[in-house]
């Protein structure tokens, strides 16, 4: 009989057995002021876990990547530079992490990542690392920086156009109140 793939019991509410598909899992819980990072390493059926909190200034985010890669050096074949990791999409706080870590991220909606009642940063990072090592979430598409910049500019333009329309309508409403009417602009 062929040996089974290693499994991990992961419990927050009840034990669950899941198959490990990857040699490692990196989970990152992002916030405005800090990151909680968890690294799981599969070493011959035994999974080791290391965790650490980092601030969100650029140097510390880069240190978080170096720290994670350093803990993955125990693998027989260290991971390539395109590191696989899972993180929550929290506002825009995950974007600097994706830029610094590069690699192949799996970006997950926080409501899908951890729907349980117990929600702490350490548990979230552990669960995201668990998701990464078991291959639960597919790799996310990350647009090139130029495409992302155009998207941000177009979104901001739409916001400004809406503000101009609101201001024009408000001014027209005030003038109409005093008996002045204007034809609609085309």
134, 151, 175: which is the final residue of a domain?
A: 134
Reported pTM:
0.71
113, 134, 155: which is the final residue of a domain?
A: 134
Shared domain for 27 and 115, answered yes or no, is yes
Shared domain for 125 and 165, answered yes or no, is no
Q: Which residues constitute the domain of residue 167?
A: 143-186
User: Which of 129, 57, 120, 51 minimizes the C-alpha distance to 93?
Assistant: 57
Neighbour tally for 78: CB within 10 Å: 13
Q: Is residue 2 part of a domain?
A: no
Q: Is residue 1 part of a domain?
A: no
pLDDT, one tens digit for every residue, the chain (186 residues):
444 555 555 445 554 556 777 889 999 999 889 999 999 998 877 888 999 999 999 999 999 999 999 988 888 776 666 788 999 887 788 889 988 898 889 998 877 766 665 667 888 888 888 888 888 888 888 888 899 899 999 999 999 999 999 998 898 888 888 888 877 665
DSSP run (H or E) holding 149: helix 145-177
Sheet holding 24-30, edge to edge: 46-55, 34-43, 24-30, 84-88, 104-108
Number of folded domains in the chain? Answer: 2
Using an 8 Å Cβ cutoff, are 17 and 9 in contact?
A: yes
> What are the contacts of 4-8 at 24+ separation with CB within 8 A?
6/42, 6/44, 6/45, 6/46, 6/47, 8/40, 8/47, 8/130, 8/133, 8/134
């Amino acid at each position: 009989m062929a040996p089974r793939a290693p499994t991990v019991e992961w419990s927050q509410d009840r034990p669950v057995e899941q198959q490990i598909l990857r040699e490692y899992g990196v989970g990152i819980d992002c916030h405005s002021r800090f990151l909680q990072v968890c690294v799981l390493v599969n070493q011959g059926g035994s999974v080791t876990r290391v965790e650490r909190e980092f601030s969100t200034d650029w140097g510390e985010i880069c240190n978080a990547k170096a720290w994670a890669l350093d803990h993955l050096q125990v693998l027989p074949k260290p991971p390539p530079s395109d590191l696989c990791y899972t993180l929550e999409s929290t506002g825009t706080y995950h974007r600097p992490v994706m830029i610094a870590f590069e690699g192949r991220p799996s970006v997950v909606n926080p409501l899908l990542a951890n729907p349980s009642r117990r929600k702490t940063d350490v548990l979230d990072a552990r669960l995201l690392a668990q998701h990464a090592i078991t291959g639960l979430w597919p790799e996310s598409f990350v647009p090139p920086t130029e495409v992302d910049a155009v998207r941000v500019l177009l979104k901001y333009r739409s916001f400004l156009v809406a503000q101009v329309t609101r201001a024009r309508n408000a001014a027209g409403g005030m003038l109409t109140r005093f008996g002045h009417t204007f034809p609609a602009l085309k």
